[in-house]
Structure 1
Amino acid sequence: MPRLDAAWQALERWLGATVLPAQCALCGMGCPEVLCPPCRAQYLGHSRPRCCQCANPLAGTDGTPLCGRCLRKRPAYDATVTACDYAPPVDQLLLQLKFGARLPLAPLFAQLLAVAVQQQPAWEQPQLLCPMPLGPARLAGRGFNQALEIARPLARLLAIPLQPRLALRVRETRAQSGVAPRERRANLAHAFAIAPQHGGLLQGCHVGIVDDVMSSGHTVNTLAAACKRAGASRVSILVVARTPPH
């Protein structure tokens, strides 16, 4: 933890001094760091009990590690770590990265995730990291993959090898946010494949999938299932923000 805290402070000083305006990215108050201390403490300075498999908030505090949904039907992935809820005003930071191309925010999200990982008492370190892939058309339109931009600094912080081309999105799909909940699973059918040249890496491997936001979980579940079919023994999800269930 001391090493991560020092890295956090150094990162915020560097971003604030060289790349981002000298103001808090959330409240706009004059600040030499990416986030001012009050915003960091209010919105990112605390954790909550979560399901260890899907990271949805747990209503009780009886020590039960899984939510009712995961108890009823286990997803293809085995664990999820998230840094925060996808809720105002933190969601605006992720939107600034994804649609505003504020790429200097990606190391901030990586640092948040690294701290969240360090806070997991029984965390099993993946052997490699795989960013959630974008389809060719969406990648060309956006110009970057936000999951990869987060995964690069995260891999360095956690000292885990990154395989940026391990997974491929072989079928263009509609954005899950624009698809009715009952159609989301079908929207992702056969969307992912493991790159043939990297398939051998997955035999008996623990893979960490990195993404910016996890909502219904269908996207990461579909990719996790593809990893399992290719021989992965365990799949963990590392996602910056988790959308609370409605």
Structure 2
Amino acid sequence: MHCQPHIKALVYKCLNIKQLCLLCGEPAGQPYPLCVTCECELPWLEEQCLRCALPLPLQDLLCVQCSRRSPAFEQVVAPWHYGFPIDTLISRFKHQSQWPLGHLLAQQLGMALQHRYAEGLAQPNRLLPVPLARGRLRQRGFNQAGMIAQWLSAQLGIPCDAQLLQRPHDTPAQQTLGAKARQRNLQRAFSLKAGAQVQGLHLAVVDDVLTTGATAQALASLLLKAGARRVDVYCLARTPKPEQG
């Protein structure tokens, strides 16, 4: 069953008929539907861990967890920390099917990546969206990570392979679990499609939000064991630690 919507048709009306800010409704005055005032007020992620993008009080540092044990992934790129109004926008995209908001956020992530590439960040060979289990995909009707990856692919000119990562088993939703439970929940949750060839490739896993990093760690470990050279993580937002929220 193909549950992914035809996203170009879904976002055309909002993005091409009237270029209004999708947050406040005023004229955007920019090439994308976001006015300067609303853009400046977004919770941009500045000081962060050099590896996992955890919000930190100072720049150019590693968080305690990454200092103690390097994660399997090389670099996380996230434009925002998971605060208002980004948390609301992502929720409306993810749970209320408001695809124009998702497209806007993906476009901003793409712009952030283009800036990082210009500064020297290595560009991956493929984009790989975090997969949903079949049951959850049927229930929701679309995979938000898959839509973000498709939009990024078109913007950045990087191929997207939405089938390489598989999630054959339904597991409890990650947001309902604590950090240790998340890790147990993801044991053997993912696999690669039959015949997948990733030897020597630089890959980027795409998701909406990075919380504990358990999903990113599980997928990066799987890809590295299969022969990938490097795995990065691209997401819209990074959550702080619970005591930081």
TM-score (norm 1): 0.85
- 1:16 & 1:109 partners in 2: Cα distance? 13
Match of 2:22 in 1: 25
Match of 2:87 among 73, 88, 91: 91
Q: 1:234 to 1:88 in 2, by over 3 A?
A: same
SS at match of 2:78: strand
- Contact 2:15–2:100, Cα closer than 8 Å, also in 1: no
**Structure 1 unaligned spans of 5+:** 1-11
Distance 1:217 1:25 in 2: 30
Q: Please name the residue that 2:70 is paired with.
A: 74
Q: 1:92-144: CA deviations, max 9, x gaps? A: 11011100011222321221111221333331111101001000000000110
Partners of 1:67 and 1:155 in 2: CA distance: 30
Q: Which residue of 2 aligns with 1:15?
A: 14
Residue number in structure 2 paired with 1:192: 190
What CA distance in whole angstroms lies between the structure 1 residues aligned with 2:156 and 2:230? Answer: 18
**Is the Cα–Cα contact under 8 Å of residues 128 and 207 in structure 1 kept in the other structure?**
yes
Counterpart residue number, 2:199: 203
| Contact map agreement 1:107 1:154 (CA 8 A) in 2 | no
Q: State how far apart, in whole Å, the 2-side matches of 1:140 and 1:31 are.
A: 37
Match of 1:158 among 156, 162, 169: 156
Tell me the distance in 1 between the aligned counterparts of 2:169 and 2:123: 30
Q: Distance in 2 between matches of 1:208 and 1:117?
A: 12
Q: Residue 132 of structure 2 aligns with which residue?
A: 134
Report SS of the residue matched to 1:104. Answer: helix
Letter in 2 for 1:67: C
Aligned to 2:35: 36
Contact 1:52 1:81 (8 Å CA) reproduced = no
- Alignment partners' CA distance in 1, 2:173 and 2:122: 31
CA contact (8 A) 1:25 1:93 kept: no
Q: Distance in 1 between matches of 2:45 and 2:142?
A: 30
- One-letter amino acid of the structure 2 residue matched with residue 122 of structure 1: G
Helix, strand or coil: the match of 2:79?
A: strand
Q: Note if 1:58 corresponds to 2:66.
A: no
User: Residue in 2 aligned with 1:7?
Assistant: none
Identity of aligned residues (%): 35
Structure 2: any 5+ residue segments left out of the alignment?
1-10
- 1:140-199 CA deviation, whole Å, 9 max, x = no partner? 0011000011111101211111111010002211111111333110011100001013x2
Matched, 1:179 2:167: no
Match of 2:210 among 205, 210, 214: 214
**CA-atom RMSD in angstroms:** 2.1
Return the alpha-carbon distance in structure 2 between the equivalents of residues 31 and 135 of structure 1: 40
Q: Which residue identity does 1:164 align to in structure 2? A: A
CA apart distance, 1:49: 2.3
- Out of 211, 220, 224, the residue aligned to residue 228 of structure 1 is 224
Count of equivalent residues: 227
Query: 1:151 corresponds to which letter in structure 2?
Result: A
Other-structure match for 1:241: 237
Q: Give the match's secondary structure for 1:141.
A: helix
AA partner of residue 188 (structure 1) = L
Residue identity in the other structure for 1:124? A
Q: Secondary structure at the match of 1:160?
A: coil
Which residue of structure 2 aligns with residue 118 of structure 1? 114
Give the match for residue 144 of structure 2: 146
The secondary structure found in structure 2 opposite 1:162 is coil
- Determine the C-alpha separation between the residues in 1 that align with 2:233 and 2:154: 17
Residues 186 and 215, structure 2, Cα contact 8 Å, conserved in 1: yes
